[in-house]
Amino acid sequence: MTACLSLCGVSHQFDGVSALKNINFSVSKGERIALLGPSGAGKSTLLELLDRRLSLGSGEAHVLNIALSKRQRFTRSDRADVGFIFQEFALLHRLSVYQNVMNGRMGRTRGWPSLWGTFDTGDHLIVARALSDVGLSDFEDRRADQLSGGQRQRVAIARCLAQEPRLILADEPVSNLDPSRAAKVLELITSRASDGETAVIFSSHQPQLAQTFADRVIGLRDGEIMFDRLSAHLTQEDITQLYDGFRSDTDLRLVG
Ligand SMILES: Nc1ncnc2c1ncn2[C@@H]1O[C@H](COP(=O)(O)OP(=O)(O)OP(=O)(O)O)[C@@H](O)[C@H]1O
């Protein structure tokens, strides 16, 4: 399989706090990866680094054939190739649901249309499809600040899907959704990898969802990788150790 990204000896510090320590892994095109780990483990930091919003501290990293560096500059199309689903959704509250999702098309439109916010029929079809996929077609005219938390999260997901990225990075993308909707939405996000070209990395606090919707699960704790396993090989012991000996028959029961 062709590499989508690779990290070698990557570390990141925030004012003396080691958020990531000597991270090594690679992801192929078409792979679905789940990041698990307790609060503060470094999951968001890792996703933000891959999104190129944090500059590389030390080590080597390549994302979609571009080497990350301390002084990184990316073209509009490079940016559009990576889609990020934010933990806090990052919506424009005064804009409608439709306009927020259409913002996902900005990086895919060149010249005047993107300056004036005029989009072609293809863009409108893609936005309508993304809204339908997340079950929000009936809400397209509603202002983003008039939605529930779960609905906002689905708008953020639709915006990312409308962007048609080659790498989807999702920071706890279903944390605000009810269990049935969470499974459907994770299915939707991770199904983008079935084209064999798009890779998906999502973080979660739910081992069952991670195991169900990812090919591989990476466990992070205190900024370090504790395990990197095929989902089928994940054990209850991996999970118990990752969460500091915490064992729950309901939350941490693995599939099968
Ligand atoms: N902007 C920042 N400035 C200073 N420290 C930070 C900053 N962002 C994160 N950290 C620290 O880096 C470490 C990793 O944080 P990170 O947000 O990546 O964890 P996480 O695994 O995503 O946690 P959660 O599951 O709670 O979202 C933590 O110790 C956190 O306090």
Q: Rounded to 5 degrees, what are φ and ψ at 68?
A: -80, 150
Q: Rounded to 5 degrees, what are φ and ψ at 31?
A: -90, 150
Q: Which two tokens stand for residue 178?
A: 């009810």
58 Cβ partners below 8 Å, 6+ apart? 9, 10, 11
Atom of ligand 1 nearest to the CA of 205: 25
Between 89 and 36, where is the model more confident?
36
Q: How far does the centroid of ligand 1 lie from the alpha carbon of residue 48, in Å?
A: 11
The confidence score (pLDDT) of residue 185 equals 86
For residue 246, name the pLDDT band (cuts at 50, 70, 90): low
Q: Which two tokens stand for residue 251?
A: 């939350």
Mean pLDDT of the chain: 89
Cα–Cα distance measured from residue 155 to residue 85, given in angstroms and rounded to the nearest whole number:
10
The confidence score (pLDDT) of residue 119 equals 80
Per-residue pLDDT for 249 more than 60?
A: no
CATH code matching the domain that covers 1-81+167-256, chosen among 3.10.200.10, 3.40.50.300, 3.40.47.10, 2.60.120.10: 3.40.50.300
Domain residue spans in the chain? 1-81+167-256, 88-164
List the residue whose alpha carbon is closest to atom 16 of ligand 1. 42
Q: Which two tokens stand for residue 192?
A: 């983008």
Between 1 and 250, where is the model more confident?
1
List the residue whose alpha carbon is closest to atom 4 of ligand 1. 14
Q: Which two tokens stand for residue 170?
A: 């999702």
From the list 131, 200, 134, 213, the residue with the least C-alpha distance to 165 is: 200
Q: How many CB atoms lie within 10 A of CB 132?
A: 13
Q: How far does the centroid of ligand 1 lie from the alpha carbon of residue 208, in Å?
A: 23
The confidence score (pLDDT) of residue 35 equals 98
For residue 79, name the pLDDT band (cuts at 50, 70, 90): confident
Between 170 and 112, where is the model more confident?
170
Between 254 and 59, where is the model more confident?
59
Ligand 1 lining (C-beta closer than 6 Å): 14-15, 17, 19, 37, 39-45
Per-residue pLDDT for 93 more than 50?
A: yes
Per-residue pLDDT for 252 more than 90?
A: no
Q: How far does the centroid of ligand 1 lie from the alpha carbon of residue 225, in Å?
A: 15
Cβ contact 27:38 at 8 Å: no
Q: From the centroid of its chain, how far is CA 250?
A: 25
Per-residue pLDDT for 180 more than 60?
A: yes
pLDDT tens, 106-161?
A: 888 766 665 566 788 889 999 999 999 999 999 999 999 999 988 999 999 999 99
The confidence score (pLDDT) of residue 112 equals 62
The confidence score (pLDDT) of residue 36 equals 97
Provide ipTM, 2 decimals.
0.97
| 149-163 helix and 179-191 helix, angle to the nearest 10 degrees | 10
